Amino acid sequence: MLRSMLLLICCSVFATAQQPAKPEANADSSKKANARPAEVVVSKPDPFDGAPVEKMALQCVTLETEAGAIEIEMLPDAAPENARSFLNLAATGSLDTTTFSRIVKDFVIQGGNLSTSEKWGVELSRKMQRKLPDEPGLIKHERGIVSMARPDEANSASTSFFILVGDGHHLDGKFSAFGRVIKGIEVADTINHADAESEKPNKPVRITRAIVVPCMR
């Protein structure tokens, strides 16, 4: 009898020793359950995202430059997504402190390269990575027209734009014209006539500020 009881106690002790401990994973799971969830970064929409053509058509963009102000009216009927992008760049301050980094004498001045900004960083880099659809319309590329610049690849425009100081009808039906200079074309002429080497101005003119305001018609 005593031997049986000793045997039973030994077996009980052995069985308890062999019982697996709670896995540490459960403790980790408990910690994870009590941990704060990771914050989800939600991109804030730009001011003109989803804006109808009618609203965009009422807006004008003034580029305040070191050489003077250039006022541009929007022509979104022809190129709505390109007009929207330009309005968003101006309204969010993305064009502020950028330069007109390319000039072709008596033809165009080109701006919108966000990497020339004094505020260059991740956010502006992200904006430059967006690609816009080609929207070549019926607007003729003539003096005063504002259009999107892009490489030869289709649908590759991002943030760069050009202002024509001369006619460029060979661009008709190929590039997305979305605006027209209504004041300050002489400022664009001044920028265009600056000293340059291989289309790169020796002293690029800076856009100190771009603002969006309702057009005064």
Per the CB < 8 A criterion, the answer to whether 191 and 67 are in contact is yes
pTM of the model: 0.80
- 83-119 per-position pLDDT tens digit: 999 999 999 999 999 999 999 999 999 999 999 999 9
Q: What is the layout of strands, in order, in the sheet containing 59-65?
A: 102-104, 108-111, 161-164, 145-148, 177-183, 68-74, 59-65, 207-214
β-strand partners of 59 = 214
- 184-217 per-position pLDDT tens digit: 999 999 999 999 999 999 999 999 999 999 998 6
Domain 53-214: give its CATH code.
2.40.100.10
pLDDT, the chain, mean: 86
Per the CB < 8 A criterion, the answer to whether 180 and 59 are in contact is no
